[in-house]
């Protein structure tokens, strides 16, 4: 039976095997509201319904050569923020990519079936070349191969990714298929994008330029304090206000309402929608309310981040147990991979 089928969840069977969900995040900077509403909040919801692997992609972050003093702190930051937001190390396997050397071994092996031509055509690679022509390293070129290794090492079925990572996920499927057909064994299932329904996933930035992003400088972070959040929200780009009743909203105002829908209750959203429609809206009031409601969600998380970040004993326990579980799963896959390729013991 192919792995994917074997893993498919049988809803009426109490002995079902859960499907595997996997997601990685590079260890750069803090998590923002986009990460929280677009991904993290949903991870928390599904962590006991799937066999989940959530890891910190510290190897991937090396493409930009972080200073050794910052490298560890960045990993620790994301880990503390993941835990504070509600990921439960008892339910999901939380680990650090570089703690699982099997990933790097699979990366070497997959590099043999990844063609330079297809890597050079990757959109993210071409973008990086344009942005940083002085740092076109081989790790950047083979970034999708490392990401495929992350996914295939646990034979994941579902990988929740945003638009910008869809091509990488497609490449992981290409390598899975290529490997299976080259060696004539169904070692890898094909991983698909897990798209969460329900709440709006695209979280806008506050500068009207589109998506909230780490590198866009337009983010509100889970780690921001009340003063910072209020300042950022009050500075959000607006316009001179509606001049006719019921007029369509320009993008920058729509963005504020999108955020409001994510963090505020329905009556608040209705109240300001009405104010917009009858042209009596005061952006200052809207922003004040928005800042308050953001804080209601993020400040308790921030408090937990601080506590967890300073609890080294707890963190090292979480990391060790995640590593052990991840390595067990990874080495089982690698054994199959090595067998398929033709490694034999002497
Ligand atoms: N490339 C992803 C990003 O930049 C991070 C990542 C690394 C990842 N390995 C992964 C995401 C495996 C999903 C699965 O956002």
pLDDT of residue 8: 42
pTM for the whole structure: 0.91
95: three-class secondary structure by DSSP: strand
Whole-number Å distance between alpha carbons of 320 and 81: 18
- Give the Å distances, CA to CA, from 174 to 45, 60, 139, 213: 30, 20, 19, 28
**Would the pLDDT of 11 be above 50?**
no
Q: Using CA atoms, how far apart are residues 312 and 76, in angstroms rounded to an integer?
A: 10
Domains recognised in the chain with CATH numbers: 3-202+311-341 (3.40.50.620), 224-307 (1.10.240.10)
Measured CA to CA in angstroms, residue 300 lies from 85, 284, 316 at distances of: 9, 25, 23
Q: How far is the CA of 254 from the centre of ligand 1 (A)?
A: 29
Distance between first and last Cα of the chain: 30
Residue with the bigger pLDDT between 298 and 8: it is 298
Looking at 264-311, list the stretches that DSSP marks H as alpha helix, in order from N- to C-terminal side.
266-277, 283-309
pLDDT tens digits, one per residue of 221-279: 999 999 999 999 999 999 999 999 999 999 999 999 999 999 999 999 999 999 999 99
- The answer to whether residues 283 and 238 touch, using CB atoms and an 8 Å cutoff, is yes
Scored b (16 or more CB within 10 A) or e, 45-78 reads ebbeebbbbbbbbbbbbbbeebeeeebeebbbbb
Q: What pLDDT digit, counting tens, does each position of 115-153 carry?
A: 999 999 999 999 999 999 999 999 999 999 999 999 999
Tens digit of pLDDT for each residue in 177-204?
999 999 999 999 999 999 987 654 678 8
Q: State the Cα–Cα distance between residues 222 and 214, nearest whole angstrom.
A: 12
Residues 272, 286: Cα–Cα separation, whole Å: 7
- Choose one of 21, 22, 24, 58 to mutate for the ligand 1 pocket test, by most ligand atoms within 8 angstroms of C-beta: 24
Q: What ligand 1 atom has the least distance to the C-alpha of 160?
A: 13
Ligand 1 center from residue 51 Cα (angstroms): 18
- Output the ligand 1 site: residues, CB below 6 A: 22-26, 57, 60, 147, 150-151, 159, 161, 165, 168
Residue 213 bridge partners (DSSP): none
208 falls in which pLDDT band (50, 70, 90)?
confident
Residues labelled as active-site residues: 128, 211, 214
What single string gives the DSSP state of each residue in 25-37?
A: EE-SS--BHHHII
Distance CA 47, CA 53 (A): 9
Q: Are 149 and 106 in contact (CB under 8 A)?
A: yes
* pLDDT, mean over the chain: 93
Other Cβ atoms less than 10 A from the Cβ of 212: the count is: 25
- Containing H/E element for 53? strand 51-57
How far is Cα of residue 96 from the mean position of the Cα atoms in its chain?
Answer: 14
229 CA from centroid of ligand 1 (Å):
28
pLDDT (0 to 100) of residue 161: 95
Residues whose CB falls within 8 Å of the CB of residue 316, separated by 6 or more in sequence, listed in order = none
């Amino acid at each position: 039976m192919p792995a994917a089928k074997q893993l498919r969840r049988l809803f009426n069977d109490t002995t079902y095997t859960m499907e595997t969900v996997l997601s990685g995040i590079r260890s750069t900077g803090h998590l923002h509201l986009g990460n929280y509403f677009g991904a993290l909040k949903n991870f928390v919801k599904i962590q006991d319904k799937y066999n989940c692997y959530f890891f910190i992609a510290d190897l991937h972050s090396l493409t930009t050569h972080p200073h050794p003093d910052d490298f560890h702190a960045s990993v620790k930051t994301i880990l503390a923020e993941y835990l504070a937001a509600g990921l439960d190390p008892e339910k999901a396997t939380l680990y650090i990519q570089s703690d699982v050397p099997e990933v790097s071994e699979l990366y070497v092996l997959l590099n043999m079936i990844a063609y330079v031509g297809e890597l050079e055509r990757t959109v993210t690679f071409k973008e990086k070349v344009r942005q940083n022509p002085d740092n076109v390293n081989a790790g950047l070129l083979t970034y999708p191969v490392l990401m495929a290794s992350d996914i295939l090492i646990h034979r994941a079925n579902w990988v929740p990714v945003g638009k910008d990572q869809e091509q990488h996920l497609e490449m992981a499927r290409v390598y899975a298929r290529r490997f299976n057909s080259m060696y004539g064994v169904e070692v890898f299932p094909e991983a698909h994008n897990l798209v969460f329904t329900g709440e709006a996933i695209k979280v806008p930035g506050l500068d009207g330029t589109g998506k909230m992003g780490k590198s866009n400088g337009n983010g509100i972070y889970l780690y921001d304090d009340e003063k910072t959040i209020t300042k950022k929200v009050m500075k959000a780009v607006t316009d001179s206000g509606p001049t006719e009743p019921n007029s369509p909203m320009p993008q920058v105002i729509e963005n504020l309402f999108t955020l409001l829908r994510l963090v505020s209750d329905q009556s608040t959203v209705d109240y300001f929608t009405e104010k917009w429609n009858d042209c009596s809206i005061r952006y200052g009031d809207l922003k004040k309310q928005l800042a308050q409601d953001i804080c209601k969600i993020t400040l308790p998380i921030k408090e937990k981040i601080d506590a967890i970040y300073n609890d080294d004993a707890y963190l090292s326990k979480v990391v060790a147990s995640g590593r052990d579980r991840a390595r067990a799963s990874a080495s089982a896959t690698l054994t199959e991979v090595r067998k398929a390729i033709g490694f034999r013991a002497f």
